[in-house]
């Protein structure tokens, strides 16, 4: 059983190599940017159809439903436009997504239609590609001959058109299908052809893959020397290409060859080499496969503890990549090893886990193996009833498993037979022509020959009769056995019912898990809302830096990255801005980000620190006390990197301190880098590092400043699946300097999608860009209206009339005047409705200011409110600030339509109205008063420009 298992596994590895190859053959086009969706409403006609197709393409591997919907829309639109190419494109893509979904019938339907449309569009290459795709379907459904037909048709078209690149695919696929059929000679023949073409095309990766494919066939034919020879050739090329992922695959295969020749030490050596390369590449699947191989080989060497170690590592990686099959398989190996170590209870536990997952996936091979091992364990534990149950369930499965393997073997044998038969036919024909000559010469012998034939027929007949008798006898015996079996079957079917019940329980548990998963996703989505509320609004930055952008792309729904933006002491020239990158992403990262946000808030808003190094020092000390780092039980795991700037626009000065993350300033095409300290927030200060360093630089007009987390530069992608790296990032920033910030954002984003291609986003991404603009002639602020005094409803009237009179004297557009008055009314009414007013206590009377600066008006109010109101109020304003104009309108509609509005109005409608009318974020602050009340300060800004 041990040998059998590792054999099955090697086949599995082998199949994986084949599968990865097929996915390479299958055309995968470059993903396009999300921004496509935004321009969709502006496109019409054929352009729109093409855009829909691009969108469908973009979503094909991410979301079946989205891709399906876009492809369908594309088809409908194209049909109405009589746009045949669009029809063909959408049919092609519908085929792809169904193929990826393993729905081969539908994929076949769509691709057959694709061929029709491509032909109607005179697109012969397209038609040929679709024929090749249909071939793939038949290959997957095991209809190899049909598959060969289609590949051949595709090949013929490409050959006629002399399209070499197109020929490569069907030829390689013909190799694969012949390999699957078991016709190894033909498979090699095709792989050789594909090798030649790839050489002619000078496609080194293709050449090396073809070499590996040939080696794979030799391995299957047990021709280890040749296999080794080809694998080594392939390896050499891959080493030249420096493609770690591919190198690792080939090293692994070489390991398999050595293992098959029982050269265990060499095999281990190669697996280790493969592991090294797998770690360098980002293909975790590859790491897991190699660890698996190492585990297996150590089992067969009876080095169980080492094997266990490898499988543990493999398990960790499988968990990271969410490979259920990998997890189940590792758990099975644990069970296997502990069973051998005679630790039966532990073994049983692991096998149960593995079995549960295998059943969820419907992986019959693993279910069978687990049942067999459980039967073994139970009998070792002397629990024979359970052992019997396991074995009968396994037997039940075995039949269907056997049928599959048999089917495979039969096709293989059949193919071999056919090849042999053809050879024989040829020799037979040759013989016949010789025979004819003989026939003419020796007629007498001919008669004798006929006689011999007659004899043979007679003897044959006797033999058949004899065999028939034998079969009859067996039949009679079998009938008796069957009666016995029938009795046993009844017993088994009782047991089966019990098993059925257990299965139902398993299904129930599965549904429960699905339900739980939904709950979890819902709460993460809610967490996202909370996280969005702590992020400053981009409008807020625009108030200070007219030319800016923020790129914020969490890897998952919530993010470990976030950014901070605040102005210092209500001075519009002084701001603090920071990019923060907490360890991890997703939920753990988000938790850390909330901790970090609170610490920053504490340092900046409460401690009123402005010097970047002091803020970072404060963060370190407070983070340590928050996470109790002084307690030695806690290992430093959670930390954060940050780049933080204090910018004084008026005096053109920037101060910076950083933990690992630098800040770039680009001045006249030159990049100035302010380097960060190599110390994370969260690492304890030591005698070597006593605090962060403050750096200062004079700014110039038109300087561009960039803060960012490391997600962008660490993204894998490009032709060699490498990191993007800082060098390229810097060059990109320098190259895009002639564009305004919003355009820079577009370029940076599209560059990112192009770079990562089909690879997943690796980490959260955040980049902030700001430009220091020429200051306008500064006009001193002028207070147009100031009021502090008793407050009644009539006061509103009085103040508004005053304000109107004052504003009418100023030379600004009517629209602006209206906006100012509207905002003022809402502010004043809010005070009337919600403020605590004691007209006898002069200290707490409401205050109202209307201030004019050169380009904006400020409406400021200060009034007392109950301390319980602060949470509701700040929460409400934060939500208002997070919404754009459409969002605000929607919220406004909802409230006036359904909202629970008291006679006073209310439900925060006033704030929404102010945000809509002013087009700006609302600034607020709470200032301490006593333990029951606080001062609420609100500033609304109305810009003196209309867009």
- Comparison of 872 and 927: residue with beta carbon closer to other proteins: 872
Residue 242, interface with other proteins (CB under 8 A)?
no
- Comparison of 575 and 912: residue with beta carbon closer to other proteins: 912
Closest contact distance (angstroms) between CB of 790 and other proteins is 17
Closest contact distance (angstroms) between CB of 802 and other proteins is 13
Three-state helix/strand/coil letters over 239-287: HHHCCHHHHHHHHHHHHHHHHHCCCHHHHHHHHHHHHHHHHHCCCHHHH
Count of residues engaged in binding other proteins, rule: CB under 8 A = 32
Is-contact 704 767, C-beta < 8 A?
Answer: no
Closest contact distance (angstroms) between CB of 884 and other proteins is 14
Candidate ranges 38-46, 98-106, 705-713, 904-912; the one touching other proteins (CB under 8 A): 904-912
Residue 896, interface with other proteins (CB under 8 A)?
yes
Closest contact distance (angstroms) between CB of 892 and other proteins is 8
The b-or-e profile of 671-705 (16+ CB within 10 A means b, else e) is eeebebbebbbbbeeeeeeeebebbebebeeebbb
Closest contact distance (angstroms) between CB of 797 and other proteins is 6
Closest contact distance (angstroms) between CB of 924 and other proteins is 18
Could you give the CA distance from residue 391 to residue 384 in angstroms, rounded to a whole number? Answer: 10
Is-contact 831 859, C-beta < 8 A?
Answer: no
Position among 675, 893, 932, 945 found at the interface with other proteins (CB under 8 A): 893
Strand partners of residue 847: 788, 862
Q: Give just the sign of the alpha carbon dihedral 69, 71, 75, 81.
A: positive
Is-contact 924 869, C-beta < 8 A?
Answer: no
Return the closest-CA partner of residue 237 out of 264, 202, 263: 202
| Positions in 586-605 near other proteins (CB under 8 A) | none
Is-contact 927 937, C-beta < 8 A?
Answer: yes
Closest contact distance (angstroms) between CB of 877 and other proteins is 15
Position among 897, 928, 930, 931 found at the interface with other proteins (CB under 8 A): 897
End-to-end CA distance of the chain: 78
- Comparison of 25 and 796: residue with beta carbon closer to other proteins: 796
Could you give the CA distance from residue 117 to residue 94 in angstroms, rounded to a whole number? Answer: 14
Residues 6+ positions from 361 with CB-CB distance below 8 Å: 324, 325, 328
| Positions in 795-854 near other proteins (CB under 8 A) | 797, 801, 813-815, 818-819, 821-822, 825-826, 829
Is-contact 510 703, C-beta < 8 A?
Answer: no
Could you give the CA distance from residue 738 to residue 734 in angstroms, rounded to a whole number? Answer: 9
Closest contact distance (angstroms) between CB of 901 and other proteins is 5
Residue 793, interface with other proteins (CB under 8 A)?
yes
Residue 905, interface with other proteins (CB under 8 A)?
yes
Position among 79, 653, 906, 925 found at the interface with other proteins (CB under 8 A): 906
Closest contact distance (angstroms) between CB of 734 and other proteins is 41
- Comparison of 251 and 816: residue with beta carbon closer to other proteins: 816
Candidate ranges 276-284, 303-311, 680-688, 895-903; the one touching other proteins (CB under 8 A): 895-903
Element (H, E) at 925: strand 922-928
Position among 586, 691, 757, 899 found at the interface with other proteins (CB under 8 A): 899
Residues 6+ positions from 55 with CB-CB distance below 8 Å: 32, 36, 37, 40, 66, 70
Candidate ranges 200-208, 440-448, 628-636, 899-907; the one touching other proteins (CB under 8 A): 899-907
- Comparison of 400 and 801: residue with beta carbon closer to other proteins: 801
**Angle CA 184–189–193, to nearest 5:** 145
Could you give the CA distance from residue 126 to residue 129 in angstroms, rounded to a whole number? Answer: 5
Between 204-220 and 244-260, two packed helices, what is the crossing angle to 10 degrees?
A: 20
Candidate ranges 38-46, 573-581, 793-801, 921-929; the one touching other proteins (CB under 8 A): 793-801
| Positions in 129-188 near other proteins (CB under 8 A) | none
- Comparison of 689 and 892: residue with beta carbon closer to other proteins: 892
Q: How many CA atoms lie within 13 A of 722 on its CB side?
A: 10
Closest contact distance (angstroms) between CB of 922 and other proteins is 14
Other CB atoms closer than 10 Å to residue 425's CB: what's the count?
Answer: 10
Closest contact distance (angstroms) between CB of 898 and other proteins is 10
- Comparison of 257 and 827: residue with beta carbon closer to other proteins: 827
Element (H, E) at 426: helix 384-441
Question: Alpha helices, DSSP H only, in 161-243?
Answer: 164-181, 184-200, 204-220, 224-241
Candidate ranges 157-165, 196-204, 445-453, 908-916; the one touching other proteins (CB under 8 A): 908-916
Closest contact distance (angstroms) between CB of 894 and other proteins is 10
- Comparison of 541 and 916: residue with beta carbon closer to other proteins: 916
Closest contact distance (angstroms) between CB of 543 and other proteins is 20
Candidate ranges 119-127, 372-380, 766-774, 913-921; the one touching other proteins (CB under 8 A): 913-921
DSSP letters spanning 652-677: TEEEEEEEB--EEEEETTEEEEEPPB
- Comparison of 751 and 819: residue with beta carbon closer to other proteins: 819
- Comparison of 693 and 800: residue with beta carbon closer to other proteins: 800
Could you give the CA distance from residue 17 to residue 791 in angstroms, rounded to a whole number? Answer: 81
Return the closest-CA partner of residue 789 out of 799, 775, 779: 799
Return the closest-CA partner of residue 714 out of 724, 705, 706: 724
Residue 887, interface with other proteins (CB under 8 A)?
no
Closest contact distance (angstroms) between CB of 900 and other proteins is 10
Candidate ranges 264-272, 633-641, 666-674, 896-904; the one touching other proteins (CB under 8 A): 896-904
Position among 910, 923, 934, 941 found at the interface with other proteins (CB under 8 A): 910
Position among 241, 264, 836, 909 found at the interface with other proteins (CB under 8 A): 909
Binding mask 914-943 for other proteins (x = CB under 8 A): --xx--------------------------
Could you give the CA distance from residue 397 to residue 364 in angstroms, rounded to a whole number? Answer: 7
Write out the residues near other proteins by the rule CB under 8 A: 793, 797, 801, 813-815, 818-819, 821-822, 825-826, 829, 889, 892-893, 895-897, 899, 901, 903-906, 909-910, 912-913, 916-917, 946
């Amino acid at each position: 059983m041990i040998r059998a298992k590792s054999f099955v596994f090697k086949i599995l590895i082998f199949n994986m190599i084949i599968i990865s190859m097929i996915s390479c053959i299958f055309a995968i086009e470059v993903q396009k940017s999300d921004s496509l969706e935004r321009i969709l409403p502006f496109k019409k006609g054929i352009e729109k159809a093409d855009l829909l197709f691009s969108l469908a393409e973009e979503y094909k591997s991410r979301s079946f439903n989205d891709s399906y919907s876009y492809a369908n829309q594309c088809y409908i639109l194209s049909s109405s436009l009589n746009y045949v190419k669009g029809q063909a494109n959408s049919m092609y893509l519908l085929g792809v997504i169904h193929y990826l979904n393993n729905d081969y019938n539908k994929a076949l339907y769509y691709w057959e239609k694709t061929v029709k449309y491509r032909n109607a569009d005179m697109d012969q290459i397209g038609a040929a590609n679709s024929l090749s795709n249909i071939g793939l379907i038949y290959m997957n459904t095991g209809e190899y001959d049909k598959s060969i037909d289609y590949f051949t048709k595709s090949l013929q078209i490409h050959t006629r058109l002399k399209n070499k690149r197109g020929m490569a695919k069907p030829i390689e696929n013909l190799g694969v299908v012949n390999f699957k059929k078991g016709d190894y000679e033909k498979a090699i023949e095709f792989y050789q052809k594909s090798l030649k073409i790839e050489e002619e095309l000078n496609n080194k990766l293709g050449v090396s893959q073809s070499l590996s494919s040939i080696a794979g066939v030799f391995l299957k034919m047990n021709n280890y020397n040749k296999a080794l020879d080809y694998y080594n050739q392939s390896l050499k090329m891959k080493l030249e290409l420096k493609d770690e992922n591919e190198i690792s695959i080939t090293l692994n295969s070489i390991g398999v060859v050595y293992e098959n020749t029982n050269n265990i030490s060499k095999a281990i050596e190669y697996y280790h080499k493969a592991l090294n390369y797998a770690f360098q590449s980002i293909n975790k699947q590859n790491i897991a496969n190699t660890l698996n191989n190492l585990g297996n080989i150590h089992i067969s060497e009876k080095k169980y503890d080492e094997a266990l170690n490898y499988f543990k590592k493999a398990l960790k990686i499988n968990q990271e990549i969410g490979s259920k099959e990998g997890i189940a398989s590792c758990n099975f190996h644990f069970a296997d090893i502990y069973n051998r170590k005679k630790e039966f209870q532990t073994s049983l536990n692991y096998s149960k886990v593995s079995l549960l997952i295998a059943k969820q996936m419907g992986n019959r091979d693993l279910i069978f193996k687990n049942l067999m091992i459980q039967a073994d364990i139970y009998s070792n534990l002397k629990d024979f009833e359970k052992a019997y149950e396991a074995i009968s369930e396994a037997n039940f499965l075995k039949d269907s498993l056997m049928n599959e393997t048999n089917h495979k073997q039969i096709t293989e044998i059949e193919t071999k037979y056919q090849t042999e038969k053809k050879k024989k036919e040829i020799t037979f024909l040759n013989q016949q022509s010789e025979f004819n000559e003989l026939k003419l010469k020796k007629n007498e012998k001919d008669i004798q020959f006929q006689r011999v034939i007659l004899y043979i027929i007679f003897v044959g007949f006797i033999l058949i009769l004899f065999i028939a008798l034998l079969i009859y006898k067996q039949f009679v015996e079998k009938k008796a056995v069957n009666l016995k079996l029938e009795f046993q079957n009844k017993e088994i079917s009782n047991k089966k019912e019990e098993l059925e019940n257990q299965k139902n329980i398993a299904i129930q548990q599965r549904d429960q898990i699905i339900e739980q998963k939904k709950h979890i996703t819902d709460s993460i989505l809610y967490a996202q809302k909370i996280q969005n509320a702590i992020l400053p609004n981009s409008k807020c930055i625009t108030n200070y830096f007219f030319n800016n952008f923020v790129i914020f792309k969490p890897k998952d729904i919530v993010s470990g990255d976030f950014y901070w933006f605040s102005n210092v002491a209500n001075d519009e020239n002084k701001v603090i801005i920071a990019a923060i990158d907490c360890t991890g992403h997703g939920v753990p990262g988000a938790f850390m980000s909330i901790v970090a946000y609170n610490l920053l808030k504490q340092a900046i808003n409460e401690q009123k620190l402005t010097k970047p190094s002091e803020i970072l020092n404060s963060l370190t000390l407070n983070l340590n006390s928050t996470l109790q780092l002084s307690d030695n039980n806690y290992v430093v795991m959670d930390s954060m990197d940050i780049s933080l700037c204090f910018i004084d626009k008026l005096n053109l000065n920037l101060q910076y301190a950083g933990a690992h993350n630098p800040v770039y300033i680009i001045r006249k095409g030159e990049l100035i880098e302010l380097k960060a300290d190599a110390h994370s927030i969260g690492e304890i200060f030591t005698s070597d590092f006593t605090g962060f360093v403050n750096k200062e630089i004079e700014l110039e007009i038109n300087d561009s400043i960039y803060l960012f987390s490391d997600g962008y530069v660490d993204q894998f992608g490009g032709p060699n699946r490498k990191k993007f790296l800082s060098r390229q990032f810097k060059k990109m920033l320098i190259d895009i300097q002639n564009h305004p910030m919003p355009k820079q954002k577009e370029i940076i984003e599209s560059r990112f999608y192009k770079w990562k291609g089909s690879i997943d986003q690796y980490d959260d991404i955040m980049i902030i860009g700001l430009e220091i603009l020429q200051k306008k002639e500064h006009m001193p602020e002028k207070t147009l209206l100031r009021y502090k005094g008793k407050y009644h409803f009539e006061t509103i009237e009085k103040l508004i009339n005053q304000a109107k009179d004052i504003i009418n004297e100023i030379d600004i557009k009517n629209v602006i005047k209206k906006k100012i008055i509207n905002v003022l009314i809402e502010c004043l009414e809010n005070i009337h409705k919600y403020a605590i007013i004691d007209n006898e206590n002069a200290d707490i009377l409401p205050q109202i200011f209307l201030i004019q600066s050169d380009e904006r008006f400020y409406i400021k109010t200060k009034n007392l409110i109950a301390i319980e109101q602060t949470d509701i109020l700040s929460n409400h304003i934060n939500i208002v600030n997070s919404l754009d104009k459409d969002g605000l309108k929607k919220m406004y509609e909802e409230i006036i339509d359904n909202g629970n509005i008291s006679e006073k109005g209310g439900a925060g409608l006033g704030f929404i109205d102010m945000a809509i009318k002013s087009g700006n974020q609302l600034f607020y602050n709470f200032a301490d008063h006593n333990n029951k009340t606080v001062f609420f300060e609100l500033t609304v800004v109305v810009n003196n420009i209309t867009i």
